[in-house]
Structure 1
Amino acid sequence: MKLISIAFVFFAVALSNCQDDFRTLEITKIKYGTSFGMCMGYCTQILIIENNIASKKLVSRNESDSEKSCSRSINSSEIFSQVNRERFNDLPETIGCPDCADGGSEWIEITTNIGSKKVIYEYGKEPNEVKGYIDDLRSLYEELGTCE
């Protein structure tokens, strides 16, 4: 019984250390995306910021449409430095009712070298914890356009 108790305590401490690590480690990638369930065409769009490159991917629901992508150089650290990892990590994975009644969804995924966390929420109703950098992500997303 003592062995099980010791193993449980060890496991709990290890898990809490993983949470602390996510909050203090350097961000290596941010993904931001939108999706609309009742849509024709390029209904899922994803922005990826990694290695000083911002790339955008457009995915169509129509199987005959090919995926589109485009990219440009940026200074990733300008956006990465705005993220409060502790506040982001404390968010639930789903907020509200994303894409209910075809209202659409938005999401942000933050990756460090030990893992990632994704938060999805109703389109246009971002949580306060991401307000410091969501406008920059949206601007970059719009600047990349439709990847023609």
Structure 2
Amino acid sequence: MRPLQLIFCLLFAALVLNSCKKNDAKNLEEIGYGSSFGMCVGYCSSRISVSADQVTFSKSKNGDKPETKTCTKAITENEVAALKKLVNTNEFNKLKEVVGCPDCADGGSEWVTLKLEGKLRKVTFEYGNAPEALKNIVVKLREMRAEFKDCN
């Protein structure tokens, strides 16, 4: 009877561990990041989108005529893989869609979007106050956005 109990316990443990949803970061199709300030003059909104082979940056003005400017640059598979390692999809999916009070009193807002298996999910938070689960990826995405400072 003892070997039967051991087999049952091992089978149960295997089922429990396999039923947990794993971190799907390697299956990410796109990572996005942006920031916006509602009470601002000039280019008040910017965003980047990272896909398998390129980074697209865009910035736009507030108002009736947004005057959007867009620039792109190539990205390597290794750079994309390193970026994906900074994302924990399980923790990201646990976050509320809006964290804190983004752009209240013109404090600005930031957001991160993840496209996984064709589904896009966005988490918005107060500018400069990323949730713990997003801090590492936000730091890297801000650095990537800064590389486009000459996008005119």
TM-score range, shorter chain: 0.7 to 0.9
Identify the residue that residue 110 of structure 1 maps to in structure 2: 114
State, as a whole percentage, how many aligned pairs show the same letter: 33
Give yes or no for the alignment of 1:51 onto 2:52: yes
Question: CA separation in 2, counterparts of 1:42 and 1:139?
Answer: 18
Question: CA separation in 1, counterparts of 2:90 and 2:24?
Answer: 8
Question: CA separation in 2, counterparts of 1:45 and 1:108?
Answer: 12
RMSD: 2.0
Question: CA separation in 2, counterparts of 1:24 and 1:139?
Answer: 24
Matched pairs, number: 130
Displacement of 1:66 after TM fit? 2.3
Give yes or no for the alignment of 1:82 onto 2:86: yes
Give yes or no for the alignment of 1:130 onto 2:148: no
Question: CA separation in 1, counterparts of 2:24 and 2:82?
Answer: 17
Letter in 2 for 1:118: K
Q: Which runs of 5+ in 1 are unaligned?
A: 1-16
Identify the residue that residue 12 of structure 1 maps to in structure 2: none
Deviates more, 1:73-82 or 1:137-146: 73-82
Render the CA deviation track for 1:53-90: whole Å, top value 9, x for unaligned: 11111111144452101111113222122211101111
TM-score by length of 1: 0.80
Q: Secondary structure at the match of 2:30?
A: strand
2:38 and 2:62 in contact (8 A); partners too: no
Deviates more, 1:91-100 or 1:46-55: 46-55
1:40 and 1:62 in contact (8 A); partners too: no
Displacement of 1:114 after TM fit? 3.5
